[in-house]
A and B are shown apart, each in its own frame.
Chain A
Amino acid sequence: MKAKIVITPKKAVLDPQGKTVQSALEHMGYTGVAGVHVGKYIEIDLAPGTDREAARQALDTACHRFLSNPVIEDYKLEIAD
């Protein structure tokens, strides 16, 4: 079992990396790109026998306290098999 966490910058926060990647895509001829947001992906391997719901709750807290900064970032947490 794995926890998959995707962290993205909040919409209100300046994302120069996303803007630069968007501009590069446009220069390469990719049309229809309305926005690019560059974030982080964290994968956590969970020990065998871990309770799924308990892990989700604990990691949700960890995402809020440590893995993301709620002032500037949003996160999505998924527990996958």
Chain B
Amino acid sequence: MHFAVLQFPASNCDQDCVHGIRVLGHTAGLVWHKDTTLGAPDAVIVPGGFSYGDYLRCGAIARFSPVMQAVKQFADNGGLVLGICNGFQILCEAGLLPGALVRNRDLQFHCEQVFLKTASRTSPFTSQIPAGKILRIPIAHGEGCYFADAETLAQLQAGDQILWQYCDQAGELSEPANPNGSLLNIAGICNAARNVAGLMPHPDRASEPLLGSTDGRLIFASMLHALAQRTAPAAVAAAAPVAQAA
């Protein structure tokens, strides 16, 4: 599989994302923000950083860059798009995901390891995360407090669109485990069609034992699994549930 990783002025996790995919035996390449096409990737990652200096609002300027038109079209056609940290903010600003990310409630920039509960394993971004596993993945952001109005939150819950929530080591969704004040401890969500997702924690920074965790690989592996199923012959796809049951 081939992943396109976008590169904006002041992206700083683009190479980490490329590495995160290559370490799983697949290819990834950078796509410049002024490009109007993505090439022919199987999936797109919008990486973390401080695109356009975070001027005006995080992601507000990046969303109007030429490459984002191509990403929107790719997503509209059902392509898998993952936004990480600043990438999550960009996807919200672009309207590809509902809600917004605002200033952390304590006004501090948080750079630390957090624990995440996978709230829904029924998505192309979470299917390969073992049931009940608590992920340990770092965050690094000043504006990661997820906000949406009550109606949108109800839709997210009804649609099983909340993918990850901040929790403590035991998996409890507590206030002290919520690093930024996000509503419902939300760390990541997907759209109604389940092909676009975003999260504030960095799976790309948890893809090597040297970095202290390889839990991030489970998110990339889930995307690769979903892509493999899409391209698999019908007979193989039909056999999959039997293999899972065994």
**Chain A residues near B (Cβ < 8 Å):** 9, 12-14, 16-17, 20, 66-67, 69, 71-72
- A17/B107 in contact, CB under 8 A: yes
- Among the stretches B34-42, B95-103, B119-127, the one at the interface with A is B95-103
Whether A13 and B102, one on each chain, are in contact in the complex, defined by CB atoms closer than 8 angstroms, is yes
A71–B103 Cα gap in the complex (Å)?
A: 14
Contacts of A20 in B (CB 8 A): 107
Residues of B contacting A72 with CB < 8 Å? 100, 102, 147
Once the chains are docked, how many angstroms separate the CA of A67 from the CA of B64? 12
Within 8 A of A (CB), among B107-149: 107, 145, 147-149
Task: Give bound CA distance, A69 to B99, whole Å.
Answer: 10
Query: How long is the Cα–Cα vector from A25 to B149 in the complex, in angstroms?
Result: 30
Contact check, B105 vs A16: say whether CB atoms are below 8 A apart.
Answer: yes
Expressed in whole angstroms, the minimum distance between the Cβ of A64 and any Cβ of chain B is: 12
Let me know if A67 and B102 touch, CB within 8 A. no
Q: With a CB–CB cut-off of 8 A, which chain A residues contact B103?
A: 14, 16-17
Q: Is the Cβ of A67 less than 8 Å from the Cβ of B56?
A: yes
* Minimal Cβ-Cβ distance residue in A for B61: A66
Taking a contact as CB atoms under 8 Å apart, the answer to whether A69 and B107 are in contact is no
Chain A residues with Cβ below 8 Å from B64 are 66
Contact of B145 among A14, A17, A69 (CB under 8 A): A14
Q: Can you give 19 contacting A-B residue pairs, CB < 8 Å?
A: A9-B102, A12-B149, A13-B102, A14-B102, A14-B145, A14-B147, A16-B103, A16-B105, A16-B107, A16-B181, A17-B103, A17-B107, A20-B107, A66-B56, A69-B60, A69-B93, A69-B100, A71-B148, A71-B149
Q: A13-B147, A69-B100, A72-B100 are in contact. List 8 more A-B contacts (CB 8 A).
A: A12-B149, A14-B103, A14-B105, A16-B103, A16-B105, A66-B64, A67-B56, A72-B147
**Cα A72 to Cα B59 with chains together (Å):** 14
Interface residue ranges of B29-66 to A (CB < 8 Å): 56-57, 60, 64
Pick the contact of A71: B56, B100, B104, B105 (CB < 8 A).
Answer: B100
Report chain A residues within 8 Å CB of B105: 14, 16
- With a CB–CB cut-off of 8 A, which chain A residues contact B106? 16
What's the nearest-Cβ distance from chain B to residue A16, in Å?
Answer: 5
**Within the complex, what minimum Cβ distance (angstroms) separates B69 from chain A?**
14
Which residue on A lies nearest to B103, using beta carbons? A16
Taken together as a complex, chains A and B put the C-alpha atoms of A23 and B148 apart, in Å, by 26
Q: Are A66 and B60 touching (Cβ within 8 A)? A: yes
Contact, CB under 8 Å: A71 / B60: no
| Bound Cα distance A71, B63 (Å) | 15
Assembly CA distance A9 to B64 (angstroms): 22
What's the nearest-Cβ distance from chain A to residue B171, in Å? 25
The CA of A71 and the CA of B91, in the complex, are separated in Å by 13
Q: Which residues of B contact A66 (CB under 8 A)?
A: 56, 60, 64
CB-CB under 8 A from B181, the residues of chain A are: 14, 16
Nearest CB in chain B: distance from A67 CB, A: 7
In the assembled complex, how far is the CB of residue A11 from the closest CB belonging to chain B, in whole angstroms?
A: 11
